[in-house]
Chain A
Amino acid sequence: MRRGTFVRWGVPIAAAAVIGAAIGAGPVVAAVSGDPVLPERSAQQLLADAAAAVEKTEGPLPMSGTVQQTASLGLPALPQTGSAGPLSLLSGSHEIKVWYGEGDKLRVAMPTQMNETNLIVDGDQAWYFDSATNTATKILFDPGARPDDMAEHAPQEMTPQAAAEKVLAQADEHTAVSVTNTAEVAGRPAYQLVLKPKDAGSLVEEVRLALDGENFVPLQVQVFAKGSAEPAFQVGFTQVTFTPPAPENFTFTPPPGAKVEEKKLTAPKKEELSEAHAEEARKAAEDVKIVGDGWTSVAVLPATLSDLKAQGGEEAQGGEEAQGEDGPRFGDEADPAALIETVLKSATPVSGPWGSGKLITTKLATVLLTDDGRLLVGAVTPEEITKAAGVR
Chain B
Amino acid sequence: MSTAETTTGSAAETAQTATRTARQPRRTPGLVPVAETLSTAERRTPEPAPPGLPPPVRRPGAFWRLLGSELGLTFRRPRNLAMLAVVGAVPILVGVALRMVGGGDDDGMGGMIASVAGNSLMLTFVSFSFLTLLLMPVAVAVVGGDSIAGEAGAGTLRYLLAAPAGRTRLLAVKFLNVVVYGYAVTAVVALSALVTGLLLFPAGDVTLLSGTTVPLTDGLLRIALSVGYIGAGMAALGAVAVALSTFTEVPVGAIAGTVVAVVVCQVLRAIPDLAPLEPYLLPARFTSFDSVLRDPIDTGTLLDGLSVFGAYTVLSLSVAWARFTGKDITS
A residues at B contact (CB < 8 Å): 1, 3-5, 8-9, 11-12, 14-16, 19, 22-23, 66, 77, 80, 91-93, 97, 109, 111, 113-116, 118, 127, 129-134, 136, 239, 246, 248-249, 252-258
Contacts and interface: CB of A to CB of B under 8 A. Distances in A.
B211 A136 contact: yes
Contacts of B112: 114
State the 6 A-B residue pairs at the shortest beta-carbon distance, nearest first.
A255-B207, A129-B211, A257-B118, A12-B318, A116-B209, A132-B111
Contacts of A133: 110-111
Nearest to B209: A116
A23 to B, nearest CB: 8
B315 A80 contact: no
B322 interface: yes
Contact of A248 (B109, B117, B295): B295
B116 to A, nearest CB: 11
B318 A134 contact: no
Interface in B295-331: 295-296, 298, 300, 307, 311, 314-315, 318-319, 321-322, 325-326
A116 B272 contact: no
B276 interface: yes
Contact of A255 (B212, B315, B326): B212
Nearest to A255: B207
Contact of A258 (B36, B211, B293, B296): B211
Contacts of B74: none
Which of B1, B110, B210 gathers most chain A CB within 10 Å? B210
- Contact-residue size bin, chain B (C-beta under 8 Å from the other chain): 35 or more
A256 B118 contact: yes
Interface centre among A3, A12, A248 (most CB of B within 10 A): A12
A253 B212 CA distance: 7
Given A5-B326, A133-B111, A256-B118, 14 more contacts: A4-B326, A11-B322, A12-B318, A12-B322, A16-B315, A22-B307, A91-B272, A115-B209, A130-B111, A132-B110, A134-B109, A248-B212, A255-B211, A257-B117
Nearest to B106: A259
Contacts of A16: 315
A64 to B, nearest CB: 10
B315 A131 contact: no
Contacts of A9: 322
Contact of B290 (A14, A114, A129): A114
Contacts of B183: none
Contact of A92 (B117, B275, B319): B275
Contact of B272 (A23, A92, A127, A136): A92
Nearest to A109: B210
Max chain B Cβ within 10 angstroms of own Cβ: one of A118, A239, A257: A257
B311 A19 contact: yes
Interface centre among A239, A253, A256 (most CB of B within 10 A): A256
Interface in B95-132: 109-112, 114-115, 117-118, 125-126, 129
Contacts, number: 112
B213 A256 contact: yes
A252 B1 CA distance: 73
B287 interface: yes
Contacts of B205: 256
Nearest to B311: A19
A114 B293 CA distance: 8
A22 B295 CA distance: 29
B42 interface: no
Nearest to B290: A114
B294 A109 contact: yes
Nearest to A120: B211
B47 interface: no
A190 to B, nearest CB: 20
11 contacts: A23-B280, A109-B210, A113-B129, A114-B112, A129-B210, A131-B115, A131-B210, A133-B111, A134-B109, A253-B213, A256-B213
B5 interface: no
B311 A8 contact: no
A353 B293 CA distance: 61
A254 B111 contact: no
Contact of A134 (B36, B111, B213, B287): B111
Contacts of B111: 115, 130-134
Contacts of A11: 318, 321-322
B210 A12 contact: no
Contacts of A129: 210-211
B319 A12 contact: yes
